[in-house]
């Protein structure tokens, strides 16, 4: 007997046919002798519609009322799934954030979960009852509904799994698991059976949007084992677990990419203490996330070139912000390039395998792909290349690290 | 300074344009120096859609979960109106049933309001804040959302007005008030300025569906003054008040009709004690509402004809129920007629004016309209006629009682 939290996203509950299919999936787990709690998103598209309504009300934005409106999508699906489960003979009951309660802080629109009262849920699960819990929503200290921000249902599921001390948190989605690379680009991409939280985080933050980054961080911190799997089939998906659970580490687990990048170079910036703060301070104030940063050593010790990347959608704002500070920063020129992509090889195995970065540079060099910026972390090597080389680079690296399926 | 509850129905909040118009209406009342609380329905059509989803889940019907699903429509509109009001510079806050709380009994799907905690709302209203309260929903003793049944928002508004000791409960709808007769049939129908609860009840129960019957009963019991008015204009509508508030009573206030009628005659029923119970007992068990009943005196004291009416939609079930009991009841024949209409003249003034019924019979006789069944109450005379005479009868009576507009 295992205790399992199952989370189904918007496409998995998009209409009544899909919700009924979810009920069958839940029942299968129960019939296997397990205790199950379910966390649901809203029907695909519904939250967007509600956000649209709220946006039409005017320029005054009160996140308290926004939360009242946008939290209704999950309320609908949990009630409907409870009914569908009952129709399969399963005892089920819906739970809203304020009923559990799922206590959050008071930051409406992007609240953080503080605590989940799980005793009553556990008592009911022990009798075979299935709690169907609304994702994305919580209960604030002001006696009002809060929401966790977009994609918050993953976080709800992980937090609930932790509170229930569940053996596993199954994240049902429209893909079969996490892949070694984007299968739309690399035909030989393989489904990964097991991956560490750290690797999953790097993949998630690089645009392999299977799991919300926040939920992976939470799972790692709380030690919740995640199982990313398909709501269309019952084949095993990808387990996201602690490093200890993985016996044999591949050198590289996966290759990720992001086209959401833009590069900026400030030419001949005065090379003196505090210049980096002078550049990146205003960007931070403008809530612009700077990612890769390279500072060239200056030949004469007086001026240096600084290159960095920002999300492509922020390029215009970034340029404006820096132009406004031009006098103060004293740079000679500002060059921007939106046609770049970030390619990353990821794997906890690199810690014990030398030469991962070297193989990356060599492989890209052989294909004639110029590396513009490099950044590394303990489990990741990322390079910035011209966007047009993205597919070529991914396929070459996927082969070079032995990830291709037979 | 008056304290007012404003209730807006589904067509008044059908889309963002209409919700913004509601905000303007609310602000106008505030600007006039009044304290205002608002009660809203769901956007027109939304509740039907949610009910449709619930119906598709299967044959098992758990009203607890049904309530979770269908109560979301009002949650959306209260959040949106609060935002629209804030955009007009009005301090506003949404309130769900469980937040106020609006305590109900545990009969999910058609709960009754037990109590409304109004102290906090009153405190806020005194500071100029507008509580925007979700209609149709309450909070059950099981810590779950309840709903009051279709049209329950009117009841929410009246109960809230009573709890707030409001001076008036304005029911905004898509007509300008209550009319002396259906204006689609009688072109000379006039808007009634003031009407008593009792008269309103008779009109409402006879198909003049401006107000939910339950809400009128509640208003009468709690002494809440209702003002039925148009959400498209600010001309005064119809005040529904206590009899004492109306100085001069017309003999007849209005003429109502209902086509939702069917007539059944049981021929030659054995005329012995207990036969009425034997007939109507099984119908009551089947939840069929019997309305007008006439029993002809039997000539020989052995058999009698019994005629009565039921809602047209229940005719088939009624006939089946009685056929099944034929042996026991021992009637000679069962004749049914679905082509009948009930016409009623209504007015508290008839208590002090003699000859109201007489004038009705005479008027219909002059037009060659045969009266099939008659029933009377203190403030109403109803007759059953062939359905094809409905319009003719209404126009003739409207003139005969001096109700025609100039």
- Whether residue B72 and residue A68 make contact (CB cut-off 8 A), yes or no, is no
Query: What are the sequence ranges of the domains in chain A?
Result: 3-245, 248-401
Distance CA A195, CA A246 (A): 8
pLDDT of residue A234: 84
pLDDT of residue B206: 64
- For the segment B219-239, the average pLDDT, to the nearest whole number, is 93
pLDDT band at residue B68 under the 50/70/90 scheme: very high
pLDDT band at residue B251 under the 50/70/90 scheme: confident
| ∠ CA B361-B366-B371, rounded to 5° | 40
Q: Which residues of B touch A80 (CB under 8 A)?
A: 53-54, 57, 65, 69
| ∠ CA A118-A122-A124, rounded to 5° | 120
pLDDT band at residue A354 under the 50/70/90 scheme: confident
Residue of A14, A27, A63, A80 best to disrupt the B interface, most CBs of B under 10 A: A80
Contact assessment for residue A136 and residue A113, using Cβ atoms and an 8 Å cutoff: no
Instruction: Please give, rounded to a whole number of angstroms, the shortest distance from the CA of A334 to a CA of chain B.
Output: 41
**Residue of chain B nearest A54, judged by CA positions:** B80
Q: Which residues of B touch A145 (CB under 8 A)?
A: 96
**Residue of chain A nearest B82, judged by CA positions:** A65
Q: What is the DSSP letter of B298?
A: P
Query: Would the pLDDT of A206 be above 80?
Result: no
pLDDT of residue A207: 58
- For the segment B172-182, the average pLDDT, to the nearest whole number, is 90
Contact assessment for residue B210 and residue B228, using Cβ atoms and an 8 Å cutoff: yes
pLDDT of residue B207: 58
Percent of chain B with pLDDT over 70: 98
Contact assessment for residue B195 and residue B271, using Cβ atoms and an 8 Å cutoff: no
- For the segment B31-37, the average pLDDT, to the nearest whole number, is 97
- Whether residue B83 and residue A75 make contact (CB cut-off 8 A), yes or no, is no
Q: What is the pLDDT of residues B283-322, one digit of tens each?
A: 988 889 898 988 877 677 778 889 999 999 999 999 999 9
Q: Are strands A137-139 and A145-147 parallel, antiparallel or unpaired?
A: antiparallel
pLDDT of residue B327: 87
Structure tokens at A17: 């046919």
Rounded-to-10 torsion of CA B138, B142, B144, B147: -40
Instruction: Please give, rounded to a whole number of angstroms, the shortest distance from the CA of A63 to a CA of chain B.
Output: 9
- Whether residue A75 and residue B78 make contact (CB cut-off 8 A), yes or no, is no
Residue of A83, A89, A94, A129 best to disrupt the B interface, most CBs of B under 10 A: A83
Instruction: Please give, rounded to a whole number of angstroms, the shortest distance from the CA of A171 to a CA of chain B.
Output: 23
pLDDT of residue A162: 97
Q: Which helix (H) or strand (E) holds B327?
A: helix B326-329
pLDDT band at residue B186 under the 50/70/90 scheme: very high
Distance CA B173, CA A157 (A): 43
CA neighbor of B249 nearest in space, from B195, B181, B179: B195
Within 10 angstroms of residue A56's Cβ, the number of other Cβ atoms is 15
Over chain B, what is the mean pLDDT? 92
Instruction: Please give, rounded to a whole number of angstroms, the shortest distance from the CA of B87 to a CA of chain A.
Output: 5
Q: Report long-range pairs for A356-362 (Cβ below 8 Å, ≥24 apart).
A: A356/A251, A356/A252, A356/A381, A357/A381, A359/A400, A359/A401, A360/A397, A360/A400
**Residue of chain B nearest A77, judged by CA positions:** B69
Query: Would B3-245 and B249-400 be classified into the same CATH topology?
Result: no
**Residue of chain B nearest A100, judged by CA positions:** B143
pLDDT of residue A205: 66
**Residue of chain A nearest B46, judged by CA positions:** A76
Give A360's Cβ-side CA count (13 Å radius).
25
Q: Which residues of A touch B145 (CB under 8 A)?
A: 96
Within 10 angstroms of residue B180's Cβ, the number of other Cβ atoms is 25
Query: Would the pLDDT of B386 be above 90?
Result: yes
SS3 assignment, position B326: helix
Instruction: Please give, rounded to a whole number of angstroms, the shortest distance from the CA of A128 to a CA of chain B.
Output: 18
Residue B198 CA: distances (Å) to CA of A190, B65, B232, B239, B380 = 75, 36, 27, 13, 10
pLDDT of residue A233: 86
Query: Would the pLDDT of B99 be above 70?
Result: yes
Q: What is the DSSP letter of B174?
A: S
Q: What is the pLDDT of residues A18-67, one digit of tens each?
A: 999 999 999 999 999 999 999 999 999 999 999 999 999 998 889 999 99
pLDDT of residue B250: 77
- Whether residue B76 and residue A72 make contact (CB cut-off 8 A), yes or no, is yes
Q: Which residues of B touch A61 (CB under 8 A)?
A: 83
pLDDT of residue B304: 85
- Whether residue A68 and residue B96 make contact (CB cut-off 8 A), yes or no, is yes
- Whether residue A99 and residue B72 make contact (CB cut-off 8 A), yes or no, is no
Residue where the block lists tokens 């405190």: B123
pLDDT of residue A59: 87
**Residue of chain B nearest A79, judged by CA positions:** B65
Distance CA B389, CA B393 (A): 6
Contact assessment for residue A101 and residue A107, using Cβ atoms and an 8 Å cutoff: no
Exposed e or buried b per residue across B241-274, where buried means at least 16 C-beta atoms within 10 angstroms of its C-beta = beeeebeebbbbbbbbbbebbbbbbbeebebeee
Instruction: Please give, rounded to a whole number of angstroms, the shortest distance from the CA of A68 to a CA of chain B.
Output: 6
pLDDT band at residue B270 under the 50/70/90 scheme: confident
Q: Which residues of B touch A84 (CB under 8 A)?
A: 57-58
Residue of B15, B40, B54, B83 best to disrupt the A interface, most CBs of A under 10 A: B83
* Residues of B contacting chain A (CB within 8 angstroms): 16, 19-20, 50, 53-54, 56-62, 64-69, 71-72, 75-76, 78-80, 82-84, 86-87, 93-94, 96, 98-99, 143-145
Q: What is the CATH number of domain A3-245?
A: 3.40.1160.10
Q: Which residues of A touch B59 (CB under 8 A)?
A: 87
Q: In what order do the strands lie in the sheet with A380-386?
A: A293-295, A303-310, A254-270, A333-346, A380-386, A373-377
Return the biggest CA–CA distance within chain B.
79
Phi-psi region of B180 (alpha: psi -120 to 50; beta: other; left: phi over 0): alpha
Contact assessment for residue A38 and residue A204, using Cβ atoms and an 8 Å cutoff: no
Q: Which CATH architecture has domain A248-401?
A: 2-Layer Sandwich (3.30)
Q: What is the CATH number of domain B249-400?
A: 3.30.2130.10
- For the segment A266-279, the average pLDDT, to the nearest whole number, is 84
Query: Would the pLDDT of B394 be above 80?
Result: yes
Whether this model's pTM surpasses 0.90: no
Between A248 and A256, name the one with better pLDDT.
A256
Instruction: Please give, rounded to a whole number of angstroms, the shortest distance from the CA of A327 to a CA of chain B.
Output: 40
Query: Would the pLDDT of B106 be above 70?
Result: yes
- The beta-carbon neighbor of A87 closest among B58, B69, B145 is B58
- Whether residue A75 and residue B72 make contact (CB cut-off 8 A), yes or no, is yes
> SS3 for chain A, per residue?
CCEEEEEECHHHHCCHHHHHHHHHHHHHHHHCCCEEEEEECCCCCHHHHHHHHHHCCCCCCCHHHHHHHHCHHHHHHHHHHHHHHHHCCCCEEEECCCCCCEEECCCCCCCCEEEECCHHHHHHHHCCCEEEEECCEEECCCCCEEECCCCHHHHHHHHHHHHCCCCEEEEEECCCCCECCCCCCCCCCCECCEEEHHHHHHHHHCCCCCCCHHHHHHHHHHCCCEEEEECCCCCCCEEEECHHHCCCCCCCCEEEEEEEEEEEEEEEEECCCCHHHHHHHHHHHCCCCCCCEEECCCCCCCEEEEEEEECHHHHHHHHHHHHHCHHHHCCCEEEEEEEEEEEEEECHHHHCCCCHHHHHHHHHHHCCCCCCEEEEECCEEEEEEEHHHHHHHHHHHHHHCCCCCC
Percent of chain B with pLDDT over 90: 74
């Amino acid at each position: 007997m295992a205790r399992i939290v199952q989370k189904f996203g918007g496409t998995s509950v998009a209409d009544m046919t899909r919700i009924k299919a979810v009920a069958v999936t839940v029942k299968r787990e129960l019939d296997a002798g397990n205790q199950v709690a379910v966390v649901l998103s809203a029907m695909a598209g519904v939250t967007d519609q509600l956000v649209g309504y709220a946006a039409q009300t005017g320029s005054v934005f009160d996140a308290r009322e926004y939360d009242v409106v946008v939290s209704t999508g999950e309320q609908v699906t949990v009630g409907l799934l409870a009914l569908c489960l009952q129709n399969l003979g399963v005892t089920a009951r819906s739970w809203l954030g304020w009923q559990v309660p799922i206590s959050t802080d008071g930051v409406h629109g992007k609240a953080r979960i503080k605590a989940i009262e799980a005793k009553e849920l556990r008592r009911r699960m022990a009798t075979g009852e299935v709690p169907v819990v609304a994702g994305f929503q919580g209960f604030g200290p002001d006696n009002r509904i809060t929401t966790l921000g977009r994609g918050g249902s993953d976080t709800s599921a992980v937090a609930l799994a932790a509170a229930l001390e569940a053996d596993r948190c199954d994240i049902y989605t429209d893909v079969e698991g996490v892949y070694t690379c984007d299968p739309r680009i690399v035909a030989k991409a393989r489904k990964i059976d097991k991956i560490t939280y750290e690797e999953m985080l790097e993949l998630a933050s690089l645009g392999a949007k299977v799991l919300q980054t926040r939920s992976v961080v939470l799972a790692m911190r709380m030690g919740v084992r995640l199982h990313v799997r398909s709501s269309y089939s019952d084949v095993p998906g990808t387990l996201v677990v602690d490093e200890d659970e993985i016996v044999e580490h591949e050198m590289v687990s996966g290759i990720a990419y992001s086209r959401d990048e833009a590069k900026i170079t400030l030419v001949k910036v005065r090379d003196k203490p505090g210049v980096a703060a002078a550049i990146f301070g205003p960007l931070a104030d403008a809530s612009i996330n700077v990612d890769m940063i390279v500072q060239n050593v200056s030949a004469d010790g007086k001026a240096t070139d600084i290159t960095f990347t920002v999300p492509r959608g922020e390029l215009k704002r970034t340029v404006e912000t820096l132009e406004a500070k031009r006098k103060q920063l004293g740079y000679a020129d500002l060059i921007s390039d939106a046609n770049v992509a970030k390619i990353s090889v990821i794997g906890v195995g690199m810690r014990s395998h030398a030469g991962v970065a070297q193989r990356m540079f060599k492989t890209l060099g052989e294909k004639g792909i110029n590396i513009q910026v490099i950044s590394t972390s303990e489990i990741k090597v990322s390079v910035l290349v011209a966007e047009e080389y993205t597919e070529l680079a991914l396929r070459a690296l996927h082969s070079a690290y032995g990830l291709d399926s037979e």
